[in-house]
């Protein structure tokens, strides 16, 4: 059963994002080798164009990444990762677009926050560079803690769990405790069970069915099923044809308790989540009946 969120908003640098409706993070991969969209953003100008388009489509944040974490991906040096994303992070932030940065490296996180990012999305869950936590504590940045076995090169080698939900939940709570010990406030933390990161097809489906159970002591849950291979396995479709599967996965996770969704195709997911949320509210979820924007600082999102 999903736990009740301890905070109605996610604290990020410079503001708070309401969790009283679904939150959408638009994926902007600035890598040449991501599994479905590598090389789409060629420079900062194109990245800004794409970020603005996703924002207009309903993204609450743009999640920028400079290192592919697809299964089997090789790591890149911190300086190369920053070269890929630095100008784009600055351009998006300078245009008033809230940015989260997908990185496992402390130096990249520091530079991203200096350039205007409001949150760090650490897919290693503070395993690779625990120094990210005190930096988030100092700056007030939001912190996404994700579960992954091993690293992108090895994460699909071991897909077995005795009790998938219990094991992942316990690990996420342990890593969140590390962040708290570094001074991060509970309201800054979001947890992500890591769909596709060391999980089988059936494991990914179980995560979607039980998303709210990963919330620990009230942390909001993010899921990132967008275009992933488990959708292809279930529907027998290539990455370019997984839109409907992505939408269905997000709605299923919302119904089971997730509140944040990291996706490539913002507009159809935004519409589907908003309708599903309306159905949830009509079914008795406490609400004043009004649609709310994800209000972050002075960045108003039209509803």
Q: Are 106 and 82 in contact (CB under 8 A)?
A: no
Does residue 202 belong to any structural domain of this protein? yes
Which of 13, 21, 242, 262 is catalytic? The answer is: 262
Q: Tell me what pLDDT residue 4 has.
A: 58
Q: Is the pLDDT of residue 37 over 90?
A: no
199 classed as catalytic: no
Does residue 200 belong to any structural domain of this protein? yes
How many domains are there within the chain? 1
User: Residue 273 and residue 154: Cα distance in Å, rounded?
Assistant: 33
Q: Tell me what pLDDT residue 74 has.
A: 79
Does residue 2 belong to any structural domain of this protein? no
Q: Percent of the chain having pLDDT more than 70? A: 84
Does residue 297 belong to any structural domain of this protein? no
Q: What is the pLDDT of residues 173-204, one digit of tens each?
A: 999 999 999 999 999 999 999 999 989 999 99
Q: Tell me what pLDDT residue 227 has.
A: 96
In this prediction, residues 243-249 reach a mean pLDDT of 98
User: Residue 85 and residue 89: Cα distance in Å, rounded?
Assistant: 6
Chain-centroid distance, C-alpha 55: 15
Does residue 188 belong to any structural domain of this protein? yes
Domain that holds residue 161: 9-281
302 classed as catalytic: no
Q: Tell me what pLDDT residue 69 has.
A: 77
Q: Is the pLDDT of residue 40 over 80?
A: no
Q: Which of the two residues, 107 and 73, has the higher pLDDT score?
A: 107
Please provide the average confidence, as pLDDT, over all residues in the chain: 88
User: Residue 113 and residue 115: Cα distance in Å, rounded?
Assistant: 5
Q: Is the pLDDT of residue 295 over 50?
A: no
Angle at 72 between CA 66 and CA 74, to 5 degrees: 45
User: Residue 63 and residue 100: Cα distance in Å, rounded?
Assistant: 5
Q: Is the pLDDT of residue 35 over 60?
A: no
pTM of the model: 0.89
**Length of the chain in residues, anyone?**
303
Does residue 4 belong to any structural domain of this protein? no
Does residue 219 belong to any structural domain of this protein? yes
Which of 55, 228, 259, 270 is catalytic? The answer is: 228
User: Residue 299 and residue 296: Cα distance in Å, rounded?
Assistant: 5
116: alpha, beta or left? (left if phi > 0; alpha if psi -120 to 50): left
Q: Which residues contact 8 (CB under 8 A, 6 or more apart)?
A: 18, 19, 20
The closest of 182, 151, 142 to 67, measured between CA atoms, is 151
What is the SS3 assignment for 83? helix
Q: Tell me what pLDDT residue 289 has.
A: 35
| CATH number, domain with residue 172 | 3.20.20.20
If you write DSSP's letter for every residue of 232-285 in order, what string do you get? HHHHT--GGG-HHHHHHHHHHHHHHT--EEEES-HHHHHHHHHHHHHHHHHTT-
What's the token pair of residue 59?
A: 């993204």
What is the SS3 assignment for 85? helix
User: Residue 144 and residue 101: Cα distance in Å, rounded?
Assistant: 10
Does residue 296 belong to any structural domain of this protein? no
């Amino acid at each position: 059963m999903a736990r009740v969120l301890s905070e109605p908003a996610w604290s990020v640098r410079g503001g708070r994002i309401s969790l009283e409706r679904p939150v959408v993070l638009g994926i902007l991969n600035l890598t040449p080798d991501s599994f479905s969209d590598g090389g789409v953003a060629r420079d900062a100008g194109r990245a800004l164009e794409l970020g603005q388009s996703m924002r207009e489509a309903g993204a609450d944040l743009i999640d920028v990444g400079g290192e592919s974490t697809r299964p089997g991906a090789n790591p890149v040096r911190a300086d190369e990762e920053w070269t890929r994303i630095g100008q784009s992070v600055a351009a998006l932030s300078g245009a008033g677009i809230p940015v989260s940065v997908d990185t496992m490296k402390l130096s990249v996180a520091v530079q991203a926050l200096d350039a205007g990012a409001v949150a760090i999305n650490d897919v290693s869950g503070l395993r690779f560079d625990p120094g990210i936590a005190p930096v988030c504590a100092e700056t007030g940045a939001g912190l996404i803690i994700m579960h992954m076995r091993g690293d992108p090169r090895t994460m699909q080698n071991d897909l077995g769990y005795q009790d998938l939900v219990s094991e992942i939940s316990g690990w996420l709570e342990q890593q969140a405790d590390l962040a708290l010990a570094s001074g991060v406030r509970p309201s800054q933390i979001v947890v992500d069970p890591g769909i596709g990161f060391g999980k089988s097809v059936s494991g990914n489906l179980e995560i979607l069915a039980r998303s709210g159970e990963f919330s620990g002591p009230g942390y909001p849950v993010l899921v990132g099923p967008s275009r992933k291979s488990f959708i292809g396995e279930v529907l027998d479709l290539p990455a370019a044809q997984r839109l409907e599967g992505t939408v269905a996965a997000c709605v299923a996770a919302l119904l089971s308790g997730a509140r944040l969704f990291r996706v490539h195709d913002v507009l159809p997911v935004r519409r589907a989540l908003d309708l599903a949320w309306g159905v949830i509210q009509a079914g008795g979820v406490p609400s004043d009946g009004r649609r709310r924007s994800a209000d972050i600082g002075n960045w108003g999102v039209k509803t």
